[in-house]
């Protein structure tokens, strides 16, 4: 998992867990009862950004903490431009023209 993504996920799990006043040990026990091989130290690693949160655990954690999956996952919208490459009939790659920004409004 991308480090820029995993740390916010772990931090959000920590925040949700603390809001519910649940310890790492309690969360690990609940996950183990659902047959997920998760220990307290694994949860600590997630929360500090030293480990990846498995995708199957995110839904379980959201359920156990009474949260939505979207509360755990970061906003993954693209704020930059997305470049799409297309193939010219000659076989070379061609980028479409970049969109132009609207002119700035004059301040009054």
For the chain, list the domains and their CATH numbers: 3-72 (1.10.260.40)
Question: What six digits make up the tokens of 35?
Answer: 């047959």
What is the model's pTM? 0.64
Torsion (CA) 75, 66, 15, 48 in degrees, nearest 10: -80
pLDDT value of residue 97:
59
Sign of CA dihedral 84, 88, 92, 95: negative
Per-residue pLDDT tens for 32-74? 999 999 999 999 999 998 998 999 999 999 999 999 998 998 7
């Amino acid at each position: 998992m991308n480090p820029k993504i995993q740390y916010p996920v772990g931090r959000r799990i920590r925040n949700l867990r603390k809001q519910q006043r649940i310890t790492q040990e309690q969360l690990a026990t609940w996950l183990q009862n659902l047959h997920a091989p998760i220990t307290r130290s694994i949860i600590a690693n997630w929360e500090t950004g030293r480990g990846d949160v498995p995708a199957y655990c995110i839904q379980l954690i959201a359920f156990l903490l009474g949260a939505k999956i979207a509360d755990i996952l970061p906003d993954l919208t693209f704020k930059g431009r997305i470049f799409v490459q297309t193939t010219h009939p000659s076989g070379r790659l061609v980028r479409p023209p970049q969109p132009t920004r609207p002119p700035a409004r004059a301040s009054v």
